[in-house]
Structure 1
Amino acid sequence: MSTSGRRGETTFAENTFAENAVRLTIDVPVTVDRAAPAPLAVQLAAQLREAMRTGGLKAGERLPSTRRLAVLLGVSRTVVTDAYQQLYAEGWLEGRHGSGTYVAEDALPYEYAVPDHAATGTAGTGEDAPASAAPGGDVVDLRPGRPWVFGYDRAAWRRAWRSAGDLPLNAFPDPYGHPELRELLAGHLRRARAVPVDAGNVMVTRGTGNGLDLVAATLLGPGTRAGVEEPGWGAARRVFASRGAEVVPCPVDEQGVIVEALPDDLRVLYTTPAHQFPVGGRLPIPRRERLLAWARRTGAIVVEDDYDAEFRYDVAPLPALYGLDPARVVLLGTLSKSLGPDVGLGWLVAPADLLGRVAERRARVADRTSGPVQRAVTTLLERGDLDRHLRRMRLEYARRRAAIVEALGPCVRGDTAGLHVMVALSAAVVPGLVRRAGEHGVLLDTTERHHLGPPRVHGLVLGYGSASLAGVRRGCAVIRALIPPGEA
């Protein structure tokens, strides 16, 4: 370690050392300057990132331990830990249990060449999904709504199902759900979403669609009107229509639903304030307060779909609408984005009187959530396995999200949370780009497809749940090459 002529600056270069019988030579100059405005951890992360980007640090190469690098740089260990954590989240580094920190094997940017004529072709005829993928080769599916179902702890999963099998089946299922699971879900919501709720306000459902249908069946019917964000989740529109309600499209902007545009005669409003689908905005506190004031004035019930709020990046979560006014809000949640849709379990949080009416109707039609599934999820929550899984998946998804932002940054919207982002593009560009991406094996979705009326918002809806990090990078390289000049 040496100190440069500039005061406060520390450098290490070409340091060779042995640690745990593994030798590592860093042939990259790294400096941290205490006089610079950027925090030391940010400086360190930026230089290591550039070294990996340019090949100074190669895929699979081991980095010093946080303690060793802190000694070499003459900084606190926290500085190095923070820098490493940032690079972990961006996908540049990976940990190997009991071995150390390494440059990720697939960390280097993937360059995908698209023929020049593909990038300059004219827009298509309006299709918003490729008819077929490219013949041969791997398909990269970047459509939203598909989580990564391979990241769970198999041992924990088997243990949960063994515990479920040890208990007898219930001959008279409780329409509210198993009491133990309701208690644990209430605790999970208090921890993860700061929702002030107890078990008496929680019902266990088969997922968001089931919960929404239970609410719609209880509150809606012919002659009622129900609002859905525009663009928004098509299944919500179909659920409301199936119960005889008139579906009213309610416009959104980059932050979420526009309160001033809401009609006063809605019985129910479906909204996604934590991460609007598909635009990706999050409803700011002042607008949340105006929305709740509207609901109190009109008597409407706001159905808050918290479908992927477990996954947040760079920003702290805003309080759930339910926590701001439990009397006017129904909160829906699901494990389909964290564990997978096959689990078939979610929750409905509502005022006690409304929840009682929902339970009565549910009992009459014999709607129930699988008892063994409830017991398995109870075990996952009791042992802390679900919390550990969510922490792992936040890191995994953060790497993929960072890859999208790095590749398509100027066009990306709604990247603070969840498992999808929006890529804003001109209406004329979208159909042809989607078609040509499909020819290169990349499957895409569009914002146009999620409107009830004429499209107001134009672009791609990129889901990064089901594709690997390498697949996300490859797909983004294809998209980047197909975006015409002037769009980014």
Structure 2
Amino acid sequence: MRGSVDLPLALDRAAPVPLAVQLTGQLREGVRTGMLRSGERLPSSRALARLLGVSRTVVTEAFQQLYAEGWLEGHHGSGTYVAHLSGSADRDGAPAARREPPAELDPWGDAERPPAGVIDLRPGRPWVLGYDEGAWRRAWRLAGLRAPAAYVDPYGHPRLRALLAGHLRRARAIPVGPENVMVTRGTGNGLDLVAAALLRPGDGAGVEEPGYRTARHVLAARGGRVTPCPVDEQGVVVDGLPEDLCVLYTTPAHQYPLGGRLPIARRERLLAWARRTGATVLEDDYDGEFRYDVAPLPALYGLDPERVVLLGTLSKSLAPDVGIGWLVAAPALLRKIAAIRRVLGDRTPGPVQEAVSILLERGDLDRHLRRMRLEYARRRAAIVDSLGSRARGDSAGLHVFLGLPAETVGPLVAEAAARGVLLDTTERHHHGPVAAHGLVIGYGSASLADVRKACEIIRDLLGETSG
């Protein structure tokens, strides 16, 4: 911008969309298209408000939202700048080769694979070496016999939808038929499709605080007004939820990242809130297959199929590379999403669907899940035995939460890395001010021996910190 607004900004006071939301969307699009270039300085909120003829509050709200999403950054004492994003235009004005979201949207990408000998206890990845090689090769060999299809069904292959419905009935006791199931490329893809169908610019989109960062980015990219909703040791806090939300994203089976398990009474209150306000609850069942010592609580979708959309994936139970997930919703909403997929050309590759169908049909996936439950249970037990009651949220999933004083988190993570252990923290999972400080310890991708070794290092560091 070089001190003035280079792209046209036009705010419509007669439109139902708030002025701050209009401005947010136009500035965001300016960065995406390269009209606003990385590193360029924006006018002050006062100057921009004067130029647009709006109150300074309108500009301040837009700036705050774009700060939170990562599109803008502040340089102390010098103003507001467009963040350095790989998808914006370069400094000479040449448009970028491709538009990409902020790099933080892919926190566990290939670029961050740990060096050899380093134990990775960051959450989000499963043990991909535990699959049955024979079953895997057989599934792909048989899938290769299927002729390519000329027609792409936006709902997914009918056979796979029926098999996934059966899997959900067995594994999660969800009374669902194939008419309620759509095959997606994973949770992020499913969430994006639902947001495209339900959200209008400026609609309230509730997310857990702290919570899954990708969900925040997806909902914001679809025009949602992201609203952080506090969680406690049991999950999302229902009392006090805003009344103006269009959707609420939540992880009730195993809250990410604090690990809470939403009790049945609170689930009922959450659904009552959704019915009263007309909001849609987006239930992410990302690791619902893995439970330890406790029986699974009924899924929110099973309690109210009209007000809940269930999102699931094989990325945790099999491997992220498979790229298969599912979306369970009322048929009317699925029809709307199917129409959107046709327009966007969004599809789940047919050969992948065929291979997963074979794994389900032959019982190979069920056998794999049983083996992995035992494998993960051993690693979870090693963490609990080593860290004791410090570890919370261990009843399910592939990670635990370890609460710590705020001032000790950074030094402990740095020293653990120096000793060959990579850890994640709750700090980066917050949308606003950090309310819960501590470690998020994932035990999916490390071997049992490495988990035990890493726990000894963490326990020593905790003792040094307390000392």
Query: Which residue number in structure 2 is paired with residue 317 of structure 1?
Result: 296
Residue 414 (1) aligns with residue 393 (2): yes
Residue 357 (1) aligns with residue 357 (2): no
Q: How far does residue 484 in structure 1 lie from its aligned partner after superposition?
A: 3.9
Letter in 1 for 2:194: V
| Moved segments of 4+, more than 3 Å | 484-488
Q: How far does residue 163 in structure 1 lie from its aligned partner after superposition?
A: 1.1
Following the alignment from structure 1 to structure 2, what is the Cα–Cα distance between the partners of residues 287 and 265?
A: 20
> Could you say if the C-alpha distance between residues 466 and 137 of structure 1 is closer, same or farther in structure 2, counting changes exceeding 3 Å?
closer
For structure 1, the residue ranges without an aligned partner over 5 or more in a row are 1-127
Tell me the SS of whatever aligns to 2:239: helix
> Could you say if the C-alpha distance between residues 136 and 397 of structure 1 is closer, same or farther in structure 2, counting changes exceeding 3 Å?
closer
TM-score, reference length from structure 1: 0.72
Tell me the SS of whatever aligns to 1:364: helix
> Could you say if the C-alpha distance between residues 487 and 220 of structure 1 is closer, same or farther in structure 2, counting changes exceeding 3 Å?
farther
Q: In the alignment, is the contact (CA less than 8 A) between 1:397 and 1:419 conserved in 2?
A: yes
Query: Which residue number in structure 2 is paired with residue 144 of structure 1?
Result: 123
Q: Percent identity at matched positions?
A: 71
Q: How far does residue 170 in structure 1 lie from its aligned partner after superposition?
A: 0.9
Following the alignment from structure 1 to structure 2, what is the Cα–Cα distance between the partners of residues 480 and 282?
A: 26
Query: Which residue number in structure 2 is paired with residue 229 of structure 1?
Result: 208
Following the alignment from structure 1 to structure 2, what is the Cα–Cα distance between the partners of residues 337 and 447?
A: 20
1:231-250 matches, cutoff 5 A: 231-250=210-229
Higher relative CO (Cα under 8 Å, sequence separation at least 6) belongs to 1
Query: Which residue number in structure 2 is paired with residue 283 of structure 1?
Result: 262
Q: Which has the larger radius of gyration?
A: 1
Letter in 1 for 2:304: D
1:53-452 matches, cutoff 5 A: 138-452=117-431
Letter in 1 for 2:282: V
Residue-pair matches, total? 358
Q: In the alignment, is the contact (CA less than 8 A) between 1:275 and 1:281 conserved in 2?
A: yes
> Could you say if the C-alpha distance between residues 304 and 487 of structure 1 is closer, same or farther in structure 2, counting changes exceeding 3 Å?
farther
Following the alignment from structure 1 to structure 2, what is the Cα–Cα distance between the partners of residues 211 and 452?
A: 22
Query: Which residue number in structure 1 is paired with residue 4 of structure 2?
Result: none
Q: Which of 439, 462, 466 is residue 483 of structure 1 equivalent to?
A: 462
Q: How far does residue 287 in structure 1 lie from its aligned partner after superposition?
A: 0.1
Letter in 2 for 1:287: R
Residues 367-423 of structure 1: per-residue CA shift (max 9 Å, x gap)? 000100000000000000000000000000000000000000121000000000001
Following the alignment from structure 1 to structure 2, what is the Cα–Cα distance between the partners of residues 178 and 218?
A: 21
Residues 32-74 of structure 1: per-residue CA shift (max 9 Å, x gap)? xxxxxxxxxxxxxxxxxxxxxxxxxxxxxxxxxxxxxxxxxxx
Letter in 2 for 1:412: A
Q: In the alignment, is the contact (CA less than 8 A) between 1:146 and 1:337 conserved in 2?
A: yes
Following the alignment from structure 1 to structure 2, what is the Cα–Cα distance between the partners of residues 273 and 235?
A: 17
> Could you say if the C-alpha distance between residues 137 and 478 of structure 1 is closer, same or farther in structure 2, counting changes exceeding 3 Å?
farther
Q: How far does residue 245 in structure 1 lie from its aligned partner after superposition?
A: 1.1
Letter in 2 for 1:286: A
Residues 254-280 of structure 1: per-residue CA shift (max 9 Å, x gap)? 000000121000000000000000000
Query: Which residue number in structure 1 is paired with residue 81 of structure 2?
Result: none
Q: In the alignment, is the contact (CA less than 8 A) between 1:426 and 1:487 conserved in 2?
A: no
Q: In the alignment, is the contact (CA less than 8 A) between 2:423 and 2:440 conserved in 1?
A: yes
Letter in 1 for 2:207: V
Q: In the alignment, is the contact (CA less than 8 A) between 2:408 and 2:465 conserved in 1?
A: no
Q: In the alignment, is the contact (CA less than 8 A) between 1:228 and 1:247 conserved in 2?
A: yes
Tell me the SS of whatever aligns to 1:260: coil
Tell me the SS of whatever aligns to 2:406: coil
Letter in 1 for 2:374: L
1:458-477 matches, cutoff 5 A: 458-477=437-456
Q: How far does residue 136 in structure 1 lie from its aligned partner after superposition?
A: 8.9
Letter in 2 for 1:449: R
Q: In the alignment, is the contact (CA less than 8 A) between 1:411 and 1:425 conserved in 2?
A: no
Q: How far does residue 221 in structure 1 lie from its aligned partner after superposition?
A: 2.5
Q: How far does residue 439 in structure 1 lie from its aligned partner after superposition?
A: 0.3
Q: In the alignment, is the contact (CA less than 8 A) between 2:205 and 2:225 conserved in 1?
A: yes
Q: In the alignment, is the contact (CA less than 8 A) between 2:155 and 2:183 conserved in 1?
A: yes
Q: How far does residue 244 in structure 1 lie from its aligned partner after superposition?
A: 1.0
Q: In the alignment, is the contact (CA less than 8 A) between 1:149 and 1:466 conserved in 2?
A: yes
Tell me the SS of whatever aligns to 1:278: coil
Query: Which residue number in structure 2 is paired with residue 38 of structure 1?
Result: none
Q: In the alignment, is the contact (CA less than 8 A) between 1:422 and 1:459 conserved in 2?
A: yes
> Could you say if the C-alpha distance between residues 279 and 136 of structure 1 is closer, same or farther in structure 2, counting changes exceeding 3 Å?
closer
Residues 75-99 of structure 1: per-residue CA shift (max 9 Å, x gap)? xxxxxxxxxxxxxxxxxxxxxxxxx
Residues 180-238 of structure 1: per-residue CA shift (max 9 Å, x gap)? 00000000000000001000000000000000000001111212110000000000000
Q: In the alignment, is the contact (CA less than 8 A) between 1:251 and 1:261 conserved in 2?
A: no
Following the alignment from structure 1 to structure 2, what is the Cα–Cα distance between the partners of residues 332 and 228?
A: 15
For structure 2, the residue ranges without an aligned partner over 5 or more in a row are 1-106
Residues 462-484 of structure 1: per-residue CA shift (max 9 Å, x gap)? 00000000111111111100014
